[in-house]
Amino acid sequence: MSPDADAGPAIEQRVPLRELNSFGLPAVARALVRVRSDADVRRVLEHPRHGCAGKFVLGGGSNIVFTRDVDALVLKVEVAGRRLVGETPDAWIVEAGAGENWHGFVDWTLAQGWPGLENLALIPGSVGAAPVQNIGAYGVELADRFDSLDAVDLVTGRSVTLDARACRFGYRDSVFKHALSGKSLITRVRLRLPRPWRPVLGYLDLERKVAETGIESPDPRTLFDWVCSIRRAKLPDPALLGNAGSFFKNPVVSPEQCRDIIGRDPEVVHYLLPDGRCKLAAGWLIDACGWKGKTVGRAGVYEKQALVLVNRGGASGAEVLTLARAIQESVYGRFGIRLEPEPVVV
């Protein structure tokens, strides 16, 4: 082994991050290292040649807003590999490296004959980022298909395995946004895909597809295609127009607050939760305040979905946050609800 290999992967200095975040926001990493294995992470921890104080884990960069340069050492996760690791009468267990592209992985599982992730098609980002915000769409969230994950503790360098309980999944939330934020690097994720497969069709947009096509029992590939076409019609492709998906979480309010809002705005789109509380469609609230299609500076609100903020070209993170704050203020002014950003703001 060469001395260089022993010291770990190369550390790149002053790396532009614009191409590494789906919003296309400008920022520079003081130092960046690409990690392809648990051993790579440990070598970086053992040889702190970079001179940076902290560490910052970067996955696909599709749920992040950079408002400044990053002084911490950026660990760019590039762990590859996809395989079936278990098969029982009631599930397939499939594993992917955290650096794999999420959508590519979903497509591959279907091609192998292991369906179950089709409702989560076309979500931008990497496999490793999926558990961090517990990605979800069209009636399925990652937690519903999760088996376990491997991560490296960034303090001790030890590899650990976490089950669903340890990940503390919530709506667009997990332990990786709280107690383990910045302390852990996910290297591999295992999904549990239930057998026999059953389509999840409850979501309004999918029911519409059933009605339009007359196909009442779509196969997994058909459902995958439907989800892709619904998303393409509503959400901007980050390769063409910078964005980070939904910018705000759908707010959850008390039954009293919900009744009050419905009393004043009977049209408000809302979903009752099992505990009696109510989830409101943030996109509807923002739309009702007249923001759809608006532009402030070089940041804007997407024409077809008010929940998505976009980079109209050359926007800075500060411009995106200025727009986000203006939206939060007008939604608060009209509905008394504080919208919470969904992406990680750096």
What residues make contact with ligand EPU under the rule CB under 6 A? 137-138, 234-235, 245-246, 249-250, 269, 281, 283-284, 287, 292, 305-307, 342
Find the catalytic residue in 78, 100, 118, 342: 342
Shortest separation between residue 299's beta carbon and ligand EPU, angstroms = 16
Q: Which residue number is nearest to ligand EPU in terms of Cβ?
A: 245
Q: Catalytic residue at 172?
A: yes
Letter string b/e over residues 280-309, b meaning 16 or more CB atoms within 10 A of that residue's CB: bbbbbbbbbbebbebebeebbbbeebbbbb
Scan for tokens 């903020």, then name that residue: 309
Q: Catalytic residue at 246?
A: yes
Find the catalytic residue in 62, 126, 174, 246: 246
Shortest separation between residue 63's beta carbon and ligand EPU, angstroms = 7
Closest CB to ligand EPU among residues 283, 300: 283
Helices (H), the chain: 3-7, 38-46, 102-112, 164-167, 204-213, 220-234, 255-264, 282-288, 317-335
Q: What is the largest CA-CA distance in the chain?
A: 71
Shortest separation between residue 172's beta carbon and ligand EPU, angstroms = 6
Closest CB to ligand EPU among residues 96, 307: 307
Strand, coil or helix: 317: helix
Shortest separation between residue 171's beta carbon and ligand EPU, angstroms = 7
Find the catalytic residue in 172, 188, 190, 231: 172
From start to end of 114-158, where are the E strands? 136-137, 140-141, 146-153
Closest CB to ligand EPU among residues 39, 201: 201
Q: Is 183 exposed, middle or buried (0-12, 13-18, 19+ CB in 10 A)?
A: middle
Active site residues: 172, 246, 342
